[in-house]
Amino acid sequence: MVPVVFPDATSLWLFGLAALALLAIPGPAVLYIVVQSAEQGRRIGLASVAGVHLGTLVHVAAASAGLSALIVASSLAFSVVKYAGAAYLVYLGIRKLLERDVDTPVERRRYPLRRAFVRGAVVNALNPKTALFFLAFLPQFVAPDRGGVWSQALVLGFVFVGLGLVTDSLYALAAGTVGGLLRRRRNAVRHGSGIVFIALGATAALAKRT
């Protein structure tokens, strides 16, 4: 039977503090959440948060199974994930730029939560930088001599996701509040979000293995 081993308390505390410090720095996923929340409201922003961290769980599982190392080691696998994610972000950006204006608040509220959730999951699941992050960050807090490396990585990954849900939700709520003041200029906000998505796609396409 494969042993199930939890990280020790010291490793958990140190990991939690380091993760909070990293999560406090806005990255592509946070920017995506902020844009969604500012444009569509806090409910959509929170649905995007949930989706993004479902995508994070994909990377947690991959890191625990050793797949992240395979992606980073394989130039082809890394490139496939990188360009798929970049293309999806650019696609979202172009759709935003071509979207017709919606004047009625009722229609805006009909924006499906499920769509925001799925988009968030796809955006982060296809983010190779997240795989690189877990490959470089998690091993520093795993003690191989304790055994159960996969279970230690899994627990740490769940801790990261839990903290990320809290911090990213705060970003979504703040952006949704500020966005409420900007929605009178929906065209400018929508076009701005489209440009942000395209820029994120271009950034993802230029990501390099380290």
User: 181 in a domain, yes or no?
Assistant: yes
The reported pLDDT for the residue numbered 166 is 95
What is the number of structural domains in the chain? 1
Q: CA 60, CA 75: separation in Å to the nearest integer?
A: 21
Instruction: Average pLDDT across each block of 10 residues of the chain; the chain has 210 residues. List them in order.
Output: 73 86 76 86 93 92 73 67 72 73 46 87 81 72 73 88 94 84 56 68 62
Count CB atoms within 10 A of the CB of residue 108: 15
The reported pLDDT for the residue numbered 146 is 73
The reported pLDDT for the residue numbered 111 is 61
The reported pLDDT for the residue numbered 46 is 95
User: 152 in a domain, yes or no?
Assistant: yes
Q: CA 73, CA 210: separation in Å to the nearest integer?
A: 10
pLDDT in tens, 194-208: 676 677 667 656 655
CA nearest neighbour of 201 among 99, 106, 122, 113: 122
Cα torsion 188, 192, 193, 198: sign: positive
Count CB atoms within 10 A of the CB of residue 100: 5
The reported pLDDT for the residue numbered 187 is 57
User: 2 in a domain, yes or no?
Assistant: no
Which domain covers residue 33, as residue numbers?
27-205
